[in-house]
Amino acid sequence: MSARVQAEPFDVGHELSGFGAGAGAIVTFSGLVRDEGGRLLALEIEHYPGMTQKALDAFGNDAAKRFALSDWRIIHRFGRLGAGEQIMMVATAARHRAAAFDAAEYLMDWLKSRAPFWKREITASGPGAWVEARAEDEGALDRWKGTSCNPAD
Amino acid sequence: MSARVQAEPFDVGHELSGFGAGAGAIVTFSGLVRDEGGRLLALEIEHYPGMTQKALDAFGNDAAKRFALSDWRIIHRFGRLGAGEQIMMVATAARHRAAAFDAAEYLMDWLKSRAPFWKREITASGPGAWVEARAEDEGALDRWKGTSCNPAD
Amino acid sequence: MVVDVLYFAWLRERVGQARERVETEAVTVRDLVAELAARDEWHAAALSDLTAVRVAVDQELADLDAPLAGAREIAFFPPMTGG
Amino acid sequence: MVVDVLYFAWLRERVGQARERVETEAVTVRDLVAELAARDEWHAAALSDLTAVRVAVDQELADLDAPLAGAREIAFFPPMTGG
């Protein structure tokens, strides 16, 4: 039941050790820097330090209530992250798989559209374009409107 | 791109090392033995050795094609698994998160209803009831009918 | 023809064996079920409710009307509970 | 009143600074945007297309019509691209 914002790498296996004890289903999502066919050297991730931790804590607690999670974790990095590096992870633990999957997808939809992070591409010629928000990501949260805990499963 | 059936425990962190290189999104699902409030000591998992490996390979390759996965892994254990132990895991790697999530859920729906495994409860009084298939699990595959690669991501 | 018939989980327990070799002229799985159920009360009990029985022919899921021509291994088992 | 105004990502670059302290009588975020855009061409350029600007008031997401009464920290930034 925790969120962390950090520059350092993290290890999914280490994060999962002891995670979700007693649960029947654990889902993890990891986001990685794609090299886009060799064009991208790294991403530079900026965030809003005063807001990020509070926002992640609030997202996680909201998801825990909505999907009856027994455990959750969010880790999001900032700074310069090379191609292939992990950017972030979420993990969710619940009694059954539908709630664990739904909660992880819900958290990802939140993170993509409501968490104060911004990505810029670093190419061979230096800092490049800021990554634009995808219309699908901005709208992805709409599908959760009116849903709370999903009893199917 | 591999499936394994084994009695031995496995380590998710170890399995993920090097998994999905080049992908942007990795999803894992782990299923664990719930102790059901202390009632359950273990699950005894039986399988159909001649069929299991072939079925898992076929499921994984089908999901890879359907969701354009760059990597996938299925591990499923058999034998006596104590409360809290991991029963199985799936991992999927794709360019974007929607395909990775969809593929992991699709594989789980398959495994729950089409992979030749059967679970029996072990309680303090010995081997107990065979776990009955849940109607939701038998029907869960229906939601994938007619879908192939999900472009919404 | 001769086929190997396999039973898993509670079907194995009710029949009282995991595997048997059977001489049969059955055309479909359903015909084979009828022959097996007529063998003795254990087979009959195991195969009494076919809504609770799943079938694989040569290690591929099949339905009761699947043809047996050329088949070598027929397995009967309850609905699967993997994952 | 006095508020701290923060800029992130390309808004920070266009304005040319990450943070400034502003004396304002603005009632809503939208009023504050108008005051800031009138300061100089850099602010004007950064705040010219409000469909591309998101706002947080005291570190909570807010919309342009949110009241500023009592606020201490107003942040402007592009649509978020976390995850």
3-state secondary structure of A77: strand
Question: Rounded CA gap, A54 and A41, in Å?
Answer: 31
What's the DSSP call for residue C38?
A: T
Residue A69 has pLDDT above 50, yes or no: yes
ipTM surpassing 0.90, yes or no?
yes
Q: Higher-confidence residue: A151 or B39?
A: B39
Residue A139 is predicted with a pLDDT of: 82
DSSP element (H, E) containing B106: helix B97-114
Stretch D56-74: mean pLDDT? 97
The list of chain B residues with pLDDT below 50 reads 149-153
Q: Which residues of A touch D (CB under 8 A)?
A: 31, 46-48, 50-51, 54-55, 76, 87-88, 108, 111-120, 130-133, 137-138
Tokens representing A59 are 């997202």
Residue B153 is predicted with a pLDDT of: 40
Stretch A41-49: mean pLDDT? 98
Instruction: For chain A, say whether B111 makes contact (Cβ under 8 Å).
Output: no
Residue B148 is predicted with a pLDDT of: 57
Question: Rounded CA gap, D66 and D44, in Å?
Answer: 21
Chain C residues within 8 A of B119 when measuring between CB atoms = 81
Residue B137 is predicted with a pLDDT of: 86
Stretch A41-69: mean pLDDT? 97
What is the nearest CA distance from A12 to chain D, expressed in angstroms? Answer: 15
- Which residue of chain D has the CA closest to A128? D10
Contact B72, B27 (CB under 8 A): no
DSSP element (H, E) containing A50: helix A49-66
**Which residue type is seen at B58?**
A
Chain A residues within 8 A of D9 when measuring between CB atoms = 46, 118, 120, 130
- Considering the entire predicted model, what is its pTM? 0.94
Angle between helices B97-114 and B49-66 (to 10 degrees): 150
Cβ of C9 within 8 Å of Cβ of B120? The answer is yes
Cβ of C59 within 8 Å of Cβ of B131? The answer is no
Mean confidence (pLDDT) of chain A: 93
Confidence of residue D26 (pLDDT cuts 50, 70, 90): very high
